Structure formats: structure tokens, C-alpha cells
A = this chain, B = another copy of it.
């Protein structure tokens, strides 16, 4: 009967201190979301596959965790289909549900299903786990948490301005100073594909461009040529996409002139024939100006090569990268999508959102030692240690008094040696132990031991309460 238990790969247990640290991140982000007027929703872990499939590209569909139908799921599958061993074909017959892959698509579904209860613009946040059957590796898990804030039902760029400020405020509060907020606009990329004579191939273009950090510029160009893009024109484009230094937008109250640089203006000039391109540039200008109005000192880097893999983005896109430590990974991302609810039957509702990646943020903060030292696994202030069952009974009423005063406290439940009981308190970093035996019961003066300093005092339970409330 005994077998050594294990966890599915890419999943993790979280012990007390890890949960406390994760909650610290979640609470910090949630506090900012609330301050900016966002309201929480939660959606089910399971969604119908019809809701999920076709929203994340072919690769995304592959990475969905699918739930086997309950009961006799094979009953109605035909023999001739079964023996093809065609897993894809059979999947649709034996599985109807899948695990949430992100929070954006379930949110779009939510908006459509609840459109009559919602006051628009609807500013919602959602902090829940998502699942992807990706190959697990450092910093990439199969179960991980996203913290999303989205506004739907408003075209205004003020939403982008709010979301950028939320990013900054949350990361500053978490102590992550060295991050880079990259910004681009899908309309600029649309202008570029128009310019190279492939106006309808934006997604093909961005899917390849999105791999630039992984496979490098040359391989991206090669992939695009394989896809049939014009080689000569591509080379010209890539020179422009990578004018890194020049294209940095630096917003600062002291240097307002640095907002937009000559290089972007040059590009703007270059593509003046494209309406989309101009719109994209114009939106970035407006966002920059509004950020100046709030006197923001956020570092924003314009990155024309930023593409974001997902197909639904249509306007501004964001990505946040931690730039310190060994993990230079994406810790957030988002963008505007003009018609995400359209796929569920509610067209012409524009939305924009950002996402925080809890697990990556945790890894960065852990490596850089950014968690406050006050985060502890237990809240217990006092452990009662007793010599025998009579003093245990006595301790119970003391314990009750402390708890009635909302002082977290506990009794060591077993009658082990006092040293053993104190080991427990020390291991859990409980600050005080209260030791009770015959003498203490008779005098009503209990021994309160400070486990950090090692000192001890004889105090009544009421005196202990006063001391601990201090």
C-alpha cells in the first residue's frame, strides 16, 4: 500500500513562509488595484473547451490541460476512429473542459455573460492561478498565478496611463526598483507590415518577432523569409526596429524634453503614408504627455521590437522585465485589445489590461532579498508549556484569556519535556514561552520566557496580557 508520493512536474507545494511571502505580494498588488478603482472577480478553474480553444494560437491549444469527461466517456466513440490513434480527433469526443490558461479570455467570457449586470467601463482585477502544459524550467511552472487588471468598455488612453502607474506603484511598493517597462503599439507594427507589402499578416509577423529574445534577430528574419516575407524589405525594417538607444522614452519631471526622440520622429516621417502607423505613434505621444501631467518619474522604454505573442492585441502593448539579478525575465505584460468579447458575441467593446506574474515576481524578490524580514510563518506570540495534565488544564483558561484579547497563542499539546516544548517554540520563532507547573498554579505567577533574549519574568496572566499588548 505504501508508495513514495510525488508531485506532477511543474507544480509545487508552498510551505508556511512561502505562502506568507506570496500573500505579501498578492496583498501589495491588490491594494494598488483597489486604490485605482478596480473591483475583483473570480472565474472557475474549468472552462468549456469551446471557450478556450482557438484563442491562444495553435501552440496555446496544445498547452491546454484538458479534463476527461466523467463516466463512461468511451461509450460513443466509434471503433474506426479509436484505432486511428488520432489523439486530436478523439480528444474532442472525450473531453469538453479545460483548465484556465490565462485570465483574459475567461474575463471576456465573463463580460459577455454578465453584460446586463455590469456598469461600463468595467474595471476588474482578478488574481488566480492558470495552467499551461509547457515544458517546466527555471522560472516556468505549469501552475502559476496571474494578477490582472483590465478596463473594458472604454477607448480612452487614460486607462493605459492608469495601468502604467499601477505597474510602477506596485513594483516600487514591492521594492523592485530595477525593472524596465517596455512599450510599443500594435498599430505601429501594423504600419510596418503594410509598408513591407503584407498588410494582412500582422499576426504572422508578431509571432515571429516575439521570439526575438529567445532566438535572436537573424533567426527571426529567417523565419519571416520562410513565411514568405520580402527579404530586402525585412532588412530595412529590422534596422529601424533596433534603434534601441535612440528610441528610449525617458519621462522625468526634470527632463520633459526627452519624452520622444528624434529617431521616433524620423520613423514617423518615414512611414507617413500609413494611417495606422501615425495613430500608433500618436497614442504613445498622448500617453507620455499624460504621464508628465502626473509628474511621473517612471522609466519607460519604447521598444519597437516588442511584439507580444497573443493575437488579440490591437493597440498599446506593455512588457515589464526585471533587470537585476540572474532572472531577467518578464514579470508582467499586457495591452489593448479592441474586440476580445466579439468572439463571444459582444462586438465593439474595447479593453486594455495588464498582468503581473506572481511566481516570477516571487523568484526575483527571493533572489534579491526584497521580502521584509517581518514576514513570518506563524503569528503565535506565546506558547504555553506545561509539566503535567493538571497544569495543562490550568493553561487552557490562561490561553482563553489571551485569545479573548486577540493575542495569538497556543499550548504545546503533548506532555513532553519542557526542553522539547521550547524547541518547538524556537523552531517556529515564537517570541515567548509561558511555563506552568505546580508552583505557578498555586501562586498565579507564571514564568514568561523571552526566547530571543533568554530572560524570564514571573507575571500574572493579566500582567502578561499588558506586556504583550505593548
Instruction: State the A residues within 8 Å of B (CB).
Output: 1-8, 11-16, 19-20, 22-23, 34-37, 39-48, 50-51, 62-63, 65-68, 70-75, 77, 79, 82-83, 85-87, 90-91, 94-97, 99, 109-110, 112-114, 117, 119, 121, 123-124, 129, 131, 133, 142-143, 151, 154-156, 158-159, 161-162, 165, 169, 289-290, 293-295, 342-345, 377-380, 383, 392-394, 396-397, 399-400, 403, 406-415, 423-424, 427-428
Closest Cβ of chain B to A403, distance in Å, is: 6
Q: How many copies does the complex hold?
A: 2
Of all chain B residues, which has the CB nearest A110? B13
**10 A-B pairs with the lowest CB-CB distances in the bound complex, closest first:** A37-B410, A156-B413, A11-B44, A16-B39, A119-B427, A19-B40, A70-B133, A82-B82, A14-B42, A294-B400
Residues of B with C-beta under 8 A to A6: 48, 51, 113
Contact B13 A392 (CB under 8 A): no
Contact A42 B19 (CB under 8 A): yes
Of all chain B residues, which has the CB nearest A383? B37
Assess A51 versus B413: contact at CB under 8 Å? Given A77-B85, A87-B74, A290-B396: no
Contact B344 A13 (CB under 8 A): no
Bound-state Cα–Cα, A426 to B291, Å:
28
Of all chain B residues, which has the CB nearest A156? B413
Contact A73 B87 (CB under 8 A): yes
Of all chain B residues, which has the CB nearest A410? B37
Assess A413 versus B158: contact at CB under 8 Å? Given A16-B124, A48-B8, A344-B2: yes
Identify whether the interface residues of A are mostly helix, strand, loop, or mixed: mixed
Contact A7 B79 (CB under 8 A): no
Bound-state Cα–Cα, A169 to B3, Å:
39
Residues of B with C-beta under 8 A to A162: 410-411, 413
Assess A345 versus B4: contact at CB under 8 Å? Given A67-B68, A71-B87, A411-B158: yes
Closest Cβ of chain B to A243, distance in Å, is: 30
Contact B45 A129 (CB under 8 A): yes
Q: Which of A37, A97, A342 has the most CB of B within 10 A?
A: A37
Of all chain B residues, which has the CB nearest A107? B13
Extra contacts besides A37-B383, A158-B411, A165-B400 (15): CB < 8 Å? A4-B344, A6-B113, A7-B47, A8-B96, A11-B44, A12-B44, A13-B43, A36-B410, A37-B378, A37-B408, A45-B129, A75-B87, A82-B85, A155-B414, A293-B393
Contact B74 A79 (CB under 8 A): no
Contact B3 A345 (CB under 8 A): yes
Residues of B with C-beta under 8 A to A397: 293-295
